[in-house]
Amino acid sequence: MGNKLNIAILGGGNSSEKEISLKGVKQIAQWLNKERYNAFPIIVEGTHLTLKHPNLGDIPVSWDSFTAKAGDETIAFHCAIIGIHGRPGETGHLQGYLEMMGIPYTTGGVMSTALTFDKEATKQMIRDLDINICKMVRVTKGQHVDTQEVVKYLGLPVFVKPNESGSSYGITKVKQIDGILPALQLAYTESLEALIEEFIPGRELTCGLVKTRGKSIIFPVTEVIPKNEYFDYGAKYKNESDEVTPAHISDRLSDRIQNISSEIYDRLKCRGIVRIDYILNNDKLYFLEVNTVPGMSEASIIPQQAAAMGLNMTDIFSLVIEDAIQRG
């Protein structure tokens, strides 16, 4: 395949977000510069790695060497794009493996991704920045929860969510006190720990960005207007929301969101393409979460934001890949 670089695009994974990841992998493969890169989707499923070869079909990838045998040819990889949502792509596990194999990759490192997958720990890390954090209670599966005390502290409604999960899986908006314990049981199907958070009404805003050692791109802010009660799975992946890019907000607020997003990115030692979500309650801006492997379908928010800047995803992924390779 000439002198082109072999790029592994890792998708699938071991979480509820597998199907979303697989769609993103296909789209990323289409975006990559075909004159510069050979795109090789690799599906992670349990302990199996499977390369989707364009001519030879499914080929096993060795965990021992992170290579694949295609007839007489051994395919090795110059860089890995991590497109797995949840475990093991956003937890530090896959990053640690790739580091041991000496393969550059496109997300933050082991500690950064492990930290940002923990919603409560992330909020603690940025608490001293100029951003509001909602009140919350962290609970562990099997722990007794005094729902009366929870409501006394947080009020109603509340959001109950897994502490380690994404794509709004396992999240419930609870309006009555007797709904808290069932909502926790749902959250525990995704994570052994859960968060009970106060409900902050307001406008949902999100800002994507990518920073390399030579360039910083902070995308325009998007407003997400869910057709449901909040930005749930349907709103994210089934077109059950309207997304306005750039958001109809003041230049001052847009600048503030872009600046705080850059600060959060640096504080959490993020790398690659990241999206950070907020709630605007009157004039108070609240941090929601950071997405270190944001959705990458053609209709996802990041491509919309890039297009609003006159940029294309082919160039953005080239930037991310080359930066990862230079970092080594």
Q: At 19, is the pLDDT very low, low, confident or very high (cuts 50, 70, 90)?
A: confident
Same domain, 194 and 205: no
Asked if 178 and 191 sit in the same domain, the reply is yes
Q: Does residue 207 sit in the same domain as residue 249?
A: yes
Q: Are residues 71 and 127 in the same domain?
A: no
- Residue 76 pairs in a beta bridge with none
Average pLDDT estimate for 305-328: 96
Give the model's pLDDT for residue 35: 97
Q: Is there a domain that residue 279 lies in?
A: yes
- Position 119 in a domain: yes
Mean pLDDT of 22-32: 96
pLDDT at 250: 97
First-to-last C-alpha distance (Å) of the chain: 23
Range of the domain at 291: 115-132+201-327
126-136: per-residue pLDDT in tens?
999 999 999 99
Weakest mean pLDDT among 96-100, 150-154, 236-240? 236-240
Q: Which residue, 148, 166, 198, sits at the end of a domain?
A: 198
Give the Å distances, CA to CA, from 242 to 223, 261, 274, 287, 300: 8, 22, 21, 21, 12
33 CB-near residues (< 8 Å, 6+ apart): 314, 317, 318
Instruction: Work out the pLDDT band at 3, boundaries 50, 70, 90.
Output: confident
Inside any domain, residue 53: yes
CATH of the domain at 143: 3.30.1490.20
**Same domain for 122 and 232:** yes
What per-residue confidence (pLDDT) applies to 6? 98
Which residue reads 């969510």 in tokens?
A: 161
- Cβ pair 105, 80 in contact under 8 A: yes
Query: Do both 158 and 217 map to the same domain?
Result: no
In this structure, the answer to whether residues 148 and 172 fall within a common structural domain is yes
* Alpha carbon distances (Å) from 288 to 102, 136, 176, 205, 206: 34, 12, 22, 10, 9
- CB-CB contact of 234 with 228 (8 Å): yes
CATH number of the domain to which 213 belongs:
3.30.470.20
List CB contacts of 36: < 8 A, sequence separation 6 or more: 4, 5, 318
Residues 122 and 47 in one domain: no
DSSP 293: S
pLDDT digits (tens, 9 = 90+) for 197-219: 999 999 999 999 999 998 999 99
CATH label of the domain that carries residue 95:
3.40.50.20
Residue 110 lies in a domain: no
- Do 124 and 267 belong to one domain? yes
Bridge-based pairing of strands 37-45 and 5-12 is parallel
Same domain, residue pair 75 and 159: no
Query: In the predicted model, what is the mean pLDDT of residues 315-322?
Result: 98
Residues 268-286: pLDDT tens digits?
999 999 999 999 999 999 9
pLDDT score, position 36:
98
71 and 121 both lie in a single domain? no
Picking from 159, 176, 198, the residue at the C-terminal end of a domain is: 198
pLDDT of residue 234: 47
Mean pLDDT of 78-91: 94
**pLDDT at residue 167, as a whole number:** 53
Say if 311 falls within a structural domain: yes
> CA dist 128 to 114, 131, 231, 326, Å?
20, 8, 26, 32
The average pLDDT across 168-183 equals: 93
Domain count of the chain? 3
Distance CA(49)–CA(60), nearest Å, equals 6
* Cβ-based neighbour number of residue 268 at 10 Å: 21
Place of tokens 């951003």: 131
The pLDDT score that the predictor gives to residue 166 is: 59
Per residue in 214-255, pLDDT tens? 899 999 999 999 876 655 454 444 566 899 999 999 999 999
Together in a domain, 169 and 292: no
